[in-house]
Structure 1
Amino acid sequence: MKHIFIATVAISVLFIGGSTQAMPSPLVTYTSVRDAWAVVGLPVYTPTLLPVGYVQKDIIVIDKSLAEIFYRNDAGKEILFRMAKGDADISGDSTIYEVNQIVQVGRQYIRVKGTEKLVSLALWSRGGYTFSLSFEEPISIEAVQAIISTIPWN
């Protein structure tokens, strides 16, 4: 038993001691939306309108398959825009919302989730790509429709 303990301690020291290489992070930060989207193989479809006070902060690619942009206001509230290939829910939000309905923006159908009057999450697919918008501070359905309508579809 003493030998097993000593062997375990020796192995632990090897791993903790810094002689091992850390796994690369699946999250890579970019300074350009165009560069980040190119890594994932996505066309640059991003909203050009956001609620007043929100500015782009972080651009991240996860596992070379999902691209996201964090927008933040002065109060620290965030909006998260995500895009990937496919049609799955990429939001990462498993909250069960009071309201879960489909609304229309032009010819596009959007699933919105939130309360009777405010949206916390919007999901949609278009042209082989899937999208989500998450709002830390919920906004009106009309505001969500306005934001999505500004995405320039090539």
Structure 2
Amino acid sequence: MKKLLKPMVIAAAATMAFSATAFAGTSSPYSLNINGKAANGEVLVLVPLRETAEQLGFKVSYNKGTILVDDGIMHTNLTIGENSYQVVTSNPDLVGMSAPFSLSSAPVMTNGKTYVPIELFVPLTGNDSSIIKTDGSAISISKKADTKNEDVQIPNPLTEHETLADLAKTVGFDVTLPTLDKAYKETAFIDISGTTADVRFADGEDTITFRKAKGSDDISGDNKTYKENKTIAVKDVSVSVKGNDGINTATWQKDGFTYSFSSDKAMTQDALVKAIENLF
């Protein structure tokens, strides 16, 4: 299936270039000249979401500010203005969820139409950047006929390590662990794409995930809607918390790093503060 696109081509500052976790090989071939001189910036290609997605076999639905793109096998939820993406597959033979990643732009809406970076369709259709081609001023995108079957692959971004020291060496920074009840045992030391430290704890009834990475993005991977969202102070740090009848996820930034702390079972605010206050 092939569709010629009429994209929105915009210029952006260099800070809008792909992040380290973006899918490479899909940047625009266009360049920008101003008064005859090459501009120092990136030219981004945004395509109409519904038109592009539906031609590629996806359904697009809107619900309270969230946009679901789904073909029955591959799914993603988008939010206008948020440059945070995650692709999920319901195929039990494949890795279920990608790590959160950024692209060249957040989804944007103009004149009632949603536009997304064209490279979003690379992970959604199997991570083959060759599906996007340019011919002069025309851009085409095609999807393999058998993408829904064996060709759909989400590369596993998770690498497990034997020790916390091995994990810290891989991500390139120290990882101090939260203080938990002795019933919780460390069950996994994981790096996500070599940039995020992910440590799991379990007590037989609850699983806790603690993450740390450089930057300021939300790395929790928790896109659920909760009844309660608020900010609390732990020492001199503002911590964003959300949950139902307690706290399920907490996120914060400090000294150039971003953190998240998630519990399958909602915990009290006092329990959360006790768990993470030694990190500040």
- Using structure 2 for the length normalisation, give the TM-score: 0.43
Query: Does structure 1 residue 61 correspond to structure 2 residue 191?
Result: yes
1:122-141 → structure 2 map (5 Å cutoff): 122-141=250-269
CA distance in 1, matches of 2:154, 2:267: 39
Matched, 1:30 2:158: no
Runs of 4+ in structure 1 over 3 Å off: 22-25
Counterpart in the other structure of 1:3: none
2:201 to 66, 71, 78: 71
Higher RCO, Cα 8 Å, sep 6+? 1
Q: CA deviation at 1:33?
A: 1.1
Instruction: Give percent identity, aligned residues only.
Output: 29
Pair 1:120-2:248 in alignment: yes
Q: Which residue of 1 aligns with 2:102?
A: none
CA distance in 2, matches of 1:136, 1:89: 18
Secondary structure of 1:150 counterpart: helix
Q: Counterpart amino acid of 1:108?
A: V
Stretch of structure 1 that moved more, 27-36 or 121-130? 27-36
**Cross-structure match for 1:82:** 211
2:175/2:212 contact within 8 Å kept: no
Q: CA deviation at 1:23?
A: 9.6
User: C-alpha separation between the residues in 2 aligned to 1:150 and 1:96?
Assistant: 29
Cα drift, residue 51 of structure 1: 3.5
> Residues 212 and 260 of structure 2 are in contact (CA less than 8 Å); yes or no, is this contact kept in structure 1?
yes
Count how many residue pairs are aligned between Structure 1 and Structure 2. Answer: 130
Residue 136 to residue 24, structure 1, CA distance change in 2 (3 Å): closer
Structure 2 unmatched ranges of 5 or more: 1-145
SS in 2 for 1:69: strand
CA RMSD, aligned part only? 2.1
In the alignment, the residues of structure 2 paired with residue 103 and residue 90 of structure 1 have an alpha-carbon distance, to the nearest angstrom, of 18
Give the deviation of 1:26 after TM superposition. 2.5
Gaps of at least 5 residues in structure 1 are 1-11, 17-21
Q: In 2, distance between residues paired with 1:144 and 1:53?
A: 16
TM-aligned CA distance change 1:148 to 1:35, over 3 Å = same
Aligned partner of residue 96 in structure 1, secondary structure: coil
Q: Structure 1, residues 3-39: CA drift from partner, whole Å, max 9, x if none?
A: xxxxxxxxx9xxx8xxxxx997432111111210221
- CA distance in structure 2 between the aligned counterparts of 1:142 and 1:33, rounded to whole angstroms: 27
Partners of 1:97 and 1:25 lie apart in 2 by: 28
User: 1:147 matched to which residue of 2?
Assistant: 275
